[in-house]
Amino acid sequence: MDKLLLVDDEKDVQYSFRRIFDSPEIEISTADSGEDALKLIPKLRPDLVLMDVRMGGITGLETLRRLRQIDAKLPVIMMTAYGTTQTAIEAMKYGAYDYLLKPFDVPKLKAIVFAALKAAHDMKQVVSFQPLLESEDYEVGVVGRSEAMQRVFKLIGQLAGSDATALITGESGTGKELVARAIYYNSQRAEKPFIAINCAAIPENLLESELFGHEKGAFTGANTQRIGKFEQCNGGTIFLDEIGDMSLPTQTKILRVLQNGAFERVGGNSPVKVNVRVIAATNKPLEQAVAAREFREDLFYRLNVVRIQIPALRERRDDIRLLVNYFLRKFAQSQKQTPKSISSEVIAIFENYHWPGNVRELENVIQRSMVVAKGDAILGGDIPVEISTGRLSTTVSPTVPETQSVNPSSDSSVPAVQRTDSASTSPTDLVSIARLLFYWAKKDSKLKIIPAVERELIIHALEETKGNQVQAAKMLGITRATLRKRVDKFSIKQMLSVS
């Protein structure tokens, strides 16, 4: 259950909060003044504080300042009526999580509260990086005993003891964020905030202002000053996830923060000093982005000083059994059940599968199988068929050389779709193939990517089926009539009859 503390001297506000957040998952407590809140917080240990800026007694701002001396991490959302916005912005410099304008827009209020609760959980979560033993009780940990993971643990330990910048690389789902949290949790900054930003999820034009804030009037819509994450997170750790997706101007600013500990807000010209530790992660090959001049070389070297490369799960198959047991215990515990066992047949299947989605995929498969399994054990029939048959990993194989024929002027700087021990097409791979194709489409304005791909797929299907249109259409998931239309449209017939 999440504990929420509302600090406001208006009974009406207290009442409406109780109504808005009336849920068995949330417990609301109230304090009528800043002084009361400061007394209550150490006893109550709330997950989130919502505080009015203007109250009788000490102000919200002063309360926040004093609270920060006791607890630097507790997320606080400031609430303010029009006219006191400036104070709320000031509060962001003291590390307030966000501010809300009165009267409240309920959906917005809920969205901010739930995001802040998630941030609070993430910060509190103990992430151990010691390899867990099978007999140990469940706790969040980076699990693994393979040699490759031992090297990762060693690096986490070294990084936790220093303030160095780190770059974590690895395929999707290998545990990059988990490792970042383990470094943070074990570092000297563990008592300070941890803020994770997914650079790929924020539109390019907004990321810079999200990170560094902006001055009033910096661009259309910038009606007030805004404090960015670097300023908010002063003293703490920022996790820049998917840093390979960051635009060049923002990269330049990041480099400056790393070198000088200073930046300017967007539209501002006085430098803001900060002390923030940066941990970055990416699943893109940054070296290639550097070669394509999409990633600054100097920033790359600055980040790459300490590099943690997390191996794909298929490269450390001896960890699979341990992870399976860990997830079985973890899910059982969260549902207050006794852990199910798992048949050795299933373990063997898991150890042979190629796990394109890595640990995340394994985690999801276990969770699903636990729901499906009727008895006390997970058996072969309980796991998804594509895993038990390994079907996707052997029969269909859209390989990189084939897709390259889409673009005759193949470009060496294109990020390669990583080929695994067996070429595969799971949804995860499809995403990376699509990303690659999109990358080409973006670079080559003359290339009409969708028809080009369609044409290639049809040619392949017809070659494979020796020109049998019924079979080819079936293979591609289209009707024979559609296939025939495309064959005409792309003049494929002619080409096939020549060959």
Ligand X SMILES: Nc1ncnc2c1ncn2[C@@H]1O[C@H](COP(=O)(O)OP(=O)(O)OP(=O)(O)O)[C@@H](O)[C@H]1O
Listed in sequence order, the residues at least 6 apart from 230 whose beta carbon sits closer than 8 Å to its beta carbon are: 211, 212, 213, 238, 257, 263, 272, 274, 276
Nearest distance, CB of residue 164 and ligand X, angstroms: 20
Residues of span 177-216 touching ligand X by CB under 6 A? 177-178
| CA-CA-CA-CA torsion sign (94, 100, 103, 104) | negative
Nearest distance, CB of residue 199 and Mg ion, angstroms: 11
Listed in sequence order, the residues at least 6 apart from 439 whose beta carbon sits closer than 8 Å to its beta carbon are: 414, 415
Q: Which is nearer to ligand X, 144 or 228 (CB)?
A: 144
| H-type alpha helices, 8-59 | 11-20, 34-44
CA angle 274, 277, 281 (to 5 degrees): 130
| DSSP reduced 3-state for 398 | coil
CB 41 within 8 A of CB 49: yes
Interacting residue with ligand X among 46, 60, 131, 170 (CB under 6 A): 170
Q: Which is nearer to ligand X, 126 or 495 (CB)?
A: 126
Stretch that binds Mg ion, among 172-180, 204-212, 424-432, 485-493 (CB under 5 A): 172-180
Burial of 45 (0-12, 13-18, 19+ CB in 10 A): exposed
Q: Which is nearer to ligand X, 60 or 356 (CB)?
A: 356
Distance set, CA 383 to CA 55, 342, 372 (Å): 58, 11, 8
Binding site partner of 302, from Mg ion, ligand X, none, Cβ cut-off 5-8 A by kind: none
Nearest distance, CB of residue 364 and ligand X, angstroms: 9
Binding site partner of 165, from Mg ion, ligand X, none, Cβ cut-off 5-8 A by kind: none
Tokens standing for residue 237: 């750790």
Nearest distance, CB of residue 283 and Mg ion, angstroms: 8
Interacting residue with ligand X among 13, 112, 117, 142 (CB under 6 A): 142
Interacting residue with Mg ion among 35, 62, 177, 351 (CB under 5 A): 177
How many residues belong to the site for ligand X (CB under 6 A)? 15
Binding site partner of 143, from ligand X, Mg ion, none, Cβ cut-off 5-8 A by kind: ligand X
Residue 35 contacts Mg ion per CB under 5 A? no
Nearest distance, CB of residue 342 and ligand X, angstroms: 16
Of 76, 1, 73, 72, the C-alpha closest to 37 is 76
Nearest distance, CB of residue 172 and ligand X, angstroms: 4
| Angle between helix 34-44 and 60-70 (nearest 10) | 30
| β-pairing verdict for 272-273 and 262-263 | antiparallel
Q: Which is nearer to ligand X, 178 or 437 (CB)?
A: 178
Interacting residue with ligand X among 90, 176, 274, 366 (CB under 6 A): 176
Residues that bind Mg ion (CB under 5 A): 177
Residues that bind ligand X (CB under 6 A): 142-144, 170, 172-178, 283, 359-360, 363
